[in-house]
Amino acid sequence: MAIPPPTAAATAAREILTRLHDVMAGRASAQAKLNTVVQVIGETLHSEVCSIYLLRDGVLELYATRGLSQSAVHVTKLALGEGLIGTIARNVETLNLAEATAHPEFKHKPETGEDLYHSFAGVPIVRREQAVGVLAIQHEAPRRYDDVEIEALQTVAMVIAELIAAAGLVDEAATATAAARSGPAQLTGLRLVNGMARGHAVFHQPRVVIEHTVAEDIEAERARVYSAFRQMREQIDRMTSQAEFGAGGEHQDVLETYKMFAYDEGWSRRINDAISSGLTAEAAIERVQQRTRMRMREIDDPLLRDRMHDLEDLSNRLLRIVSGQLGTAAQLGLRQDSILIARNLGPAELLEYDRRRLKGVILEEGSLTAHVIIVARAMGVPVLGRVRDVRHKVSEGDLLLLDSGQQRVLVRPTGPMEEAFEAKLAVSQKRRAAFAALRDEPAVTKDGVRIQLMMNAGLRDDVAALDVTGADGIGLFRTEFQFLVSASYPQRERQQRLYRDVMETAGDKPVVFRTVDIGGDKALPYMKTEGNGEENPAMGWRALRLSLERDALMKAQARALIEAAAGRVLHVMFPMVSEPWEYEEARALFEAQLHWIAERGRMGPTVIRYGAMLEVPALAEVLDQILPRLDFLSVGTNDLTQFLFAADRGNPRLAERYDWLSPAILRFLARVAAQCRAAGVTVGVCGEMGGRTLEAMTILGLGYGRLSITPAAVGPVKAMIRSLDLAKLREAMPGWLAEAPRDLRKPLQSWAAKHKVSID
């Protein structure tokens, strides 16, 4: 990067900052420093008046002035929105006026003696995107100020923001009031995990706190920014080439934009220029970002605004690198009941949060069956996805009332809003209590059919839900979760300990362990697979495909499971079986491990029951070949639907496109159920679909007798089962399937309503 010569604006600002540097470092009182600041600015810009107003108790108070009457200091006060000063602060905008009195908001303050002055320029002093004061200059002669002067003022305003923050002059209560003035808001999104939550906004990637704004050594600051740019570009290049982001869709668009900005010479030149004006690297990045933000306000093009948000993201990334403040909110720790805000998250990132304080999650992206959502569901954390712009409409610490069932979040709610929310929460807790009362009741339909109602789990703590919900067992234990939450590959002994603990906690209830399903959106950071860089990881080298080739991994897991199940029945199932031979190989690997253990005289399981997951449609075409070898089959509707519809389950743009109750899926499921029944093989559904009451009802109607669902859904689904006349539903089903309308949801809903099935 060549160093451009400093611009005129940089030179003007630098002159002021050089003089301010010693003032800032001195031991004088804050008031004395502000008095000097107005002198320095006034002299350098040859302005007759220079004044600083600070927000105190929600009001802007004249704190220091050169040129106006000194007796007005601490006397002249303006409310937010009042006069030119109040307008600048309220709108966080710059005013540049040749004739101040001609502005509609002008307000005469006779005690200041400002009648003499015609021209006026004022800039907000900003902290955390809110005005905490105003810096203004005035001249007798009517003239508009040059951009150079405005730029210099804006730069100096940043330094003043630091000075007043260091002096404790920022009125936190008043700025909080200012935030509250931006008023309550309602944001809408897509329900990803149902539930209600109350908590304070926490950003997954917290904003960097800038401690120093005036540079000690400009060349050193320049070097820091260069190195940060280099690191950021490397990160972006790596992300672009990495598997987890390579799957197209919005990530791809975002990354392309990131890349464009990361290499944008204009951006780096502006930052460089801000450093030339005497700012530190951090302050320079922020200064340029502030300017962009101000411009953005004037643009009314949503597309362009989206792009600007990407630039903001990137700017924050650069700030984090340069300041070394790299931690996520999880690493910093949650201090109160919190609602987490992020563009998107990985499952491992979510699991880093303290479960006791994490009450909800709001994502700008997100889709129903992404693994982070499955994890959130298992944690019982409501999630609202696809909330556009949330990171710009919510400030850190804002109170949020999340109601994902209603697809909305209330931001900075009023008292009555809070009351209504609490009342609804109480009702929903009552309903939950009613479901909990069903815990010891069997999952039997009204016409006497016993359904096996099991739950999904993946972590040690999840297993406690067996007792709480009264589920019949664990129908899907996602063993890869242990791999996801570990910092390194979990050794066999650790795996074995987990499996044994899980089986012991489950007691007599069966636990179906699924062998690791790594890859796709479950990439392990510490495992450098050849899968990295795949264009389409969900359809790539994952799950059983990876396990059969990396058989050391699968052998260790088989040994861990077999030894953990000593003296018990072991249920194992394999993910992503596409052809029967894959199942045979996996099964043979387990048998070989069993043999190895027996040879050494160690106790193994009393019996191993083997199952396969049906999530690749191809397997359905050869079911007749595999069924005789299976003890059970489990349909994974998350992957199955993504492959049936060729619609990436993690792509937010497709999140609402296809319905689980579409004829294609239902016919497919019906066919599989019939074949399994004919072959005498137990068949169930373990995808997220089964956790929704109407969908669960439909699955039972299609001939399934086993569901494995997220723990929170066990109560509502059991209530549904107990209110259902299954024979009647199964009678009606073939008619719907044969002449399926586009939307099967409606007839199913009306059937449920007519027959009083509990589906809400």
The residue number with the shortest CB distance to ligand PEP is 636
Task: Find the angle CA(146)-CA(149)-CA(152) to the nearest 5 degrees.
Answer: 145
361 binds, among ligand PEP, Mg ion, none (CB under 5 to 8 A by kind): none
User: Which stretch in 326-334, 635-643, 676-684, 748-756 sits in contact with ligand PEP by CB under 6 A?
Assistant: 635-643
By beta-carbon proximity to ligand PEP, the closer residue of 50 and 573 is 573
User: The tokens of 51 are what?
Assistant: 């004044």
By beta-carbon proximity to Mg ion, the closer residue of 398 and 517 is 517
By beta-carbon proximity to ligand PEP, the closer residue of 233 and 545 is 545
Q: Which of 637, 651, 693, 710 binds ligand PEP (CB under 6 A)?
A: 637
478 binds, among Mg ion, ligand PEP, none (CB under 5 to 8 A by kind): ligand PEP
Distance CA 661, CA 748 (A): 9
Q: Is 347 in the site for Mg ion (CB under 5 A)?
A: no
Residue 358 in contact with residue 340, Cβ under 8 Å? yes
The pair phi, psi for residue 88, each rounded to 5°, is -60, -45
Q: Is 282 in the site for ligand PEP (CB under 6 A)?
A: no
Question: For residue 32, what are the CA distances in angstroms to 28, 53, 133, 215, 497?
Answer: 6, 15, 17, 22, 66
Question: For residue 389, what are the CA distances in angstroms to 147, 309, 499?
Answer: 31, 8, 42
What's the closest the beta carbon of residue 636 comes to ligand PEP, in angstroms? Answer: 3
Residue listed under structure tokens 């009306």: 750
Question: For residue 497, what are the CA distances in angstroms to 303, 476, 481, 610, 755?
Answer: 52, 18, 14, 21, 47
The residue number with the shortest CB distance to Mg ion is 639
- The partner residues of 385 in beta bridges, in order of sequence, read 190
Q: Which helix (H) or strand (E) holds 20?
A: helix 8-25
Distance CA 643, CA 96 (A): 59
By beta-carbon proximity to ligand PEP, the closer residue of 639 and 648 is 639
User: Which stretch in 193-201, 566-574, 611-619, 649-657 sits in contact with Mg ion by CB under 5 A?
Assistant: 611-619
Cβ-Cβ contacts under 8 Å for 433 (sequence gap 6 or more): none
User: Helix and strand tally (H, E) in the chain?
Assistant: 29, 22
Instruction: Give residues 459-478 in contact with ligand PEP (rule: CB under 6 A).
Output: 476, 478
User: Which stretch in 146-154, 384-392, 422-430, 637-645 sits in contact with ligand PEP by CB under 6 A?
Assistant: 637-645
What's the closest the beta carbon of residue 492 comes to Mg ion, in angstroms? Answer: 24
Q: Which of 517, 534, 582, 648 binds ligand PEP (CB under 6 A)?
A: 517
Q: Is 636 in the site for ligand PEP (CB under 6 A)?
A: yes
What's the closest the beta carbon of residue 670 comes to Mg ion, in angstroms? Answer: 20
What's the closest the beta carbon of residue 748 comes to ligand PEP, in angstroms? Answer: 21
Task: Find the angle CA(632)-CA(633)-CA(639) to the nearest 5 degrees.
Answer: 155
What's the closest the beta carbon of residue 372 comes to ligand PEP, in angstroms? Answer: 11
213 binds, among ligand PEP, Mg ion, none (CB under 5 to 8 A by kind): none
User: Which stretch in 25-33, 39-47, 111-119, 634-642 sits in contact with Mg ion by CB under 5 A?
Assistant: 634-642
Q: Is 636 in the site for Mg ion (CB under 5 A)?
A: yes
Q: Is 454 in the site for ligand PEP (CB under 6 A)?
A: no
What's the closest the beta carbon of residue 457 comes to ligand PEP, in angstroms? Answer: 11
- Neighbouring CB atoms inside 10 A of 326's CB total 11
DSSP string for residues in 422-454:
HHHHHHHHHHHHHHHTTTTS--B-TTSPBPEEE
Q: Is 639 in the site for Mg ion (CB under 5 A)?
A: yes
378 binds, among Mg ion, ligand PEP, none (CB under 5 to 8 A by kind): none
What's the closest the beta carbon of residue 523 comes to ligand PEP, in angstroms? Answer: 13
Binding-site size, Mg ion (CB under 5 A): 3
Pick from 533, 508, 538: nearest CA to 521: 538
Q: Is 695 in the site for Mg ion (CB under 5 A)?
A: no
Binding mask 361-380 for ligand PEP (x = CB under 6 A): -------------x------
323 binds, among ligand PEP, Mg ion, none (CB under 5 to 8 A by kind): none
274 binds, among Mg ion, ligand PEP, none (CB under 5 to 8 A by kind): none
Distance CA 672, CA 676 (A): 6
- The partner residues of 149 in beta bridges, in order of sequence, read none
The pair phi, psi for residue 341, each rounded to 5°, is -120, 130
User: Which stretch in 18-26, 43-51, 419-427, 614-622 sits in contact with Mg ion by CB under 5 A?
Assistant: 614-622
What's the closest the beta carbon of residue 56 comes to Mg ion, in angstroms? Answer: 58
By beta-carbon proximity to Mg ion, the closer residue of 133 and 636 is 636
Burial class for 594, CB neighbours closer than 10 Å (0-12, 13-18, 19+): middle
Binding-site size, ligand PEP (CB under 6 A): 11
Binding mask 589-618 for ligand PEP (x = CB under 6 A): --------------------------x---
User: Which stretch in 48-56, 90-98, 296-304, 637-645 sits in contact with Mg ion by CB under 5 A?
Assistant: 637-645
What's the closest the beta carbon of residue 660 comes to ligand PEP, in angstroms? Answer: 11
365 binds, among Mg ion, ligand PEP, none (CB under 5 to 8 A by kind): none
Instruction: Give residues 638-697 in contact with ligand PEP (rule: CB under 6 A).
Output: 638-639, 686-687
Burial of 203-237, coded b for 16+ CB within 10 Å and e otherwise, reads: bbbbbbebebbbbeebeebbebbeebbeebeeebe
Distance CA 296, CA 293 (A): 5
User: Which stretch in 167-175, 395-403, 421-429, 632-640 sits in contact with ligand PEP by CB under 6 A?
Assistant: 632-640
End-to-end CA distance of the chain: 61
Residue listed under structure tokens 């710059």: 94
Burial of 410-424, coded b for 16+ CB within 10 Å and e otherwise, reads: bbbbeeeeeeebeee
Residues interacting with Mg ion, by CB under 5 A? 615, 636, 639
Binding site for ligand PEP (CB under 6 A): 374, 476, 478, 517, 615, 636-639, 686-687
